[in-house]
């Protein structure tokens, strides 16, 4: 086996063993991760783990390497490699999301768009590129909320070369600051990076401040109650909400790991995300104001939620 890969797995296992001593509350999730990494030295043992261990792991212990520790030394690597994967033409991991956002900007004149858990903002980068290609002349503000300083730094780097794009950093964004940005910017594309706590959005925004709120490869990090809370909260502040994430199925669980085999950090992210995703059947238990489209090539779903009309709401 590739010696670099073997060394990386050894390093991660040692890191997790130290973490288990420092953080006894996460001991069970860490133990599952150690077992996982110990089984990633060969494909045969990974598949054995996927068939035998993985199905019996309790939901609360299905944690990605970077979920265990928010200051994980592997976080930057995960976000960078995820963005790099999203850039690849095949399988066009975020293409359905990019297409949908571009379509809404063009067809419905949407101009204030917020992404929660924005990461390196590769989706926005591709939307801007597409809008430029289509000759768009309407100003658009993209807001990226992410609690991680590393993610916001990576977003800034990723978007720095995008044409006609102004990047603004604000720790906390609220209605007043968003209005100031909206009135003050003369750039065709404005990207606002901020770190609001997503569960306190109601504190900073009262009415319908956004045309579109979306999350991408984000929801599976949360419990079903938290995920519902996020949907409801976003629906209070946005005309439309889109949820884009992976689907749990055999292909994703057993074939996707092969594509990221050489990168143990991304392998952990891929395998544990797949174990947490919902099946199509689970996703289709939906409300009337939701529409779900499955994207088989990408192994994802795109859920559109049309926000109920709230009387007295106003868009900035
Ligand atoms: C898997 S990444 C997805 C990034 C991006 N949406 C993409 O598709 O490339 C999840 C991101 O959500 C952020 N995140 C996780 N929990 C969060 C929270 N409670 N509030 C804000 N951001 C959060 C993480 O910092 C990370 O950057």
Q: Is residue 311 part of a domain?
A: no
Residues 241, 131 share a domain? yes
Do both 230 and 192 map to the same domain?
A: yes
Which ranges of the chain does DSSP label H, i.e. alpha helix? Answer: 3-22, 27-38, 43-52, 65-68, 75-87, 95-108, 122-133, 149-159, 175-184, 201-204, 224-237, 250-259, 264-276, 280-283
Q: In this structure, are 38 and 103 located in the same domain?
A: no
**pLDDT given for residue 160 in this prediction:** 96
pLDDT digits (tens, 9 = 90+) for 207-235: 999 999 999 999 999 998 999 999 999 99
Ligand 1: which atom is nearest the Cα of residue 70? 25
Q: Is 240 in the pocket of ligand 1 (CB under 6 A)?
A: no
Q: Does 269 contact ligand 1 (Cβ within 6 A)?
A: no
The model's pTM: 0.94
> Residue range 91-116: average pLDDT?
97
Indicate if ligand 1 lies below 6 Å from the C-beta of 217: yes
Q: Say if residue 125 is in the same domain as residue 216.
A: yes
Q: Which domain holds residue 168?
A: 94-246+278-306
Relative to the CA of 222, which ligand 1 atom is closest?
16
Residues 217 and 68 in one domain: no
80 domain residue, yes or no: no
- Which own/partner contact pairs does 198-201 have at CB distance under 8 Å and 24+ positions apart? 198/116, 198/117, 198/145, 198/147, 198/230, 198/233, 199/226, 199/229, 199/230, 199/233, 201/233, 201/234, 201/237
Residues 44, 40: Cα–Cα separation, whole Å: 9
Please work out whether the CB of residue 151 comes within 6 Å of at least one atom of ligand 1. Answer: yes
Q: What percent of the chain has pLDDT over 90?
A: 90
Tell me the CA–centroid distance for residue 215 and ligand 1, in Å. 9
CA distance 9 to 32: 15
Residues 112 and 58 in one domain: no
Q: Average model confidence (pLDDT) for the chain?
A: 94
Q: Is the CB of 229 under 6 A from ligand 1?
A: no
Does 198 contact ligand 1 (Cβ within 6 A)?
yes
> What is the reported pLDDT for 81?
94
Q: Do 165 and 111 belong together in one domain? A: yes
* Residues 142, 37 within the same domain: no
Q: Is residue 27 part of a domain?
A: yes
CA of 280 to the centre of ligand 1 (A): 23
Nearest protein Cα to ligand 1, atom 16: 117
Average the pLDDT over 36-61 and give the result: 97
pLDDT of 1: 66
- Same domain? 67 vs 193: no
The CB of 98 under 6 Å from ligand 1? The reply is no
Q: Is residue 262 part of a domain?
A: no
Q: What is the CATH number of the domain that holds 162?
A: 3.40.50.150
pLDDT tens digit string along 4-22? 999 999 999 999 999 999 9
Residue range 267-316, pLDDT digits in tens: 999 999 999 999 999 998 866 678 999 999 999 999 998 865 444 344 44
Residues 35 and 176 in one domain: no
pLDDT at position 290, please? 87
Select from 26, 41, 73 the last residue of a domain. 73
Same domain for 116 and 179:
yes
- Total number of domains constituting the chain: 2
pLDDT at 193: 98
Question: Is the residue at 180 inside a domain?
Answer: yes
Q: Provide the sign of the torsion angle of the four alpha carbons 254, 258, 261, 265, taken in this order.
A: negative
Do 234 and 148 share a structural domain?
yes
294 domain residue, yes or no: yes
Q: Which atom of ligand 1 is nearest to the CA of 244?
A: 8
For ligand 1, the distance from its centroid to the CA atom of residue 118, given in whole angstroms, is: 6
């Amino acid at each position: 086996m590739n010696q670099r890969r073997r060394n990386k797995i050894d390093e991660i296992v040692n890191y997790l063993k130290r973490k288990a001593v420092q953080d006894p509350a996460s001991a069970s999730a860490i133990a599952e991760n150690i077992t996982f990494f110990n089984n990633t030295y060969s494909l045969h043992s990974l598949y054995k783990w996927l068939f035998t261990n993985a199905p019996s792991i309790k939901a609360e212990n299905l944690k990605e390497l970077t979920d265990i520790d928010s200051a994980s030394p592997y976080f930057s690597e995960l976000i960078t490699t995820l963005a790099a994967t999203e850039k690849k033409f095949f399988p066009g991991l975020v293409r359905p999301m990019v297409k949908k956002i571009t379509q809404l900007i063009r067809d419905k004149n949407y101009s204030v768009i917020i992404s929660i858990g924005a990461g390196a903002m590769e989706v926005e980068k591709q939307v801007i590129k597409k809008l430029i290609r289509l000759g768009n002349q309407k100003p658009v503000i993209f807001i990226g909320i992410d609690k991680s300083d590393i993610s916001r730094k990576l977003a800034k780097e990723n978007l720095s070369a995008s044409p006609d794009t102004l990047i603004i950093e604000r720790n906390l964004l609220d209605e007043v600051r968003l209005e100031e940005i909206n009135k003050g910017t003369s750039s065709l594309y404005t990207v606002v990076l901020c770190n609001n706590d997503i569960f306190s959005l109601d504190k900073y925004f009262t009415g319908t401040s956004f045309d579109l709120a979306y999350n991408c490869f984000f929801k599976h990090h949360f419990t079903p109650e938290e995920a519902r809370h996020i949907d409801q909260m976003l629906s209070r502040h946005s005309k439309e909400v889109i949820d884009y994430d992976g689907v749990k199925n055999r292909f994703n669980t057993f074939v996707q790991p092969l594509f990221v085999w050489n990168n143990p950090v991304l392998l952990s992210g891929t395998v544990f995300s797949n174990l947490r995703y919902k099946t199509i059947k689970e996703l289709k238990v939906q409300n009337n104001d939701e529409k779900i489209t499955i994207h088989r090539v990408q192994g994802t779903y795109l859920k559109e939620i049309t926000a109920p009309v709230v009387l007295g709401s106003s868009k900035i």
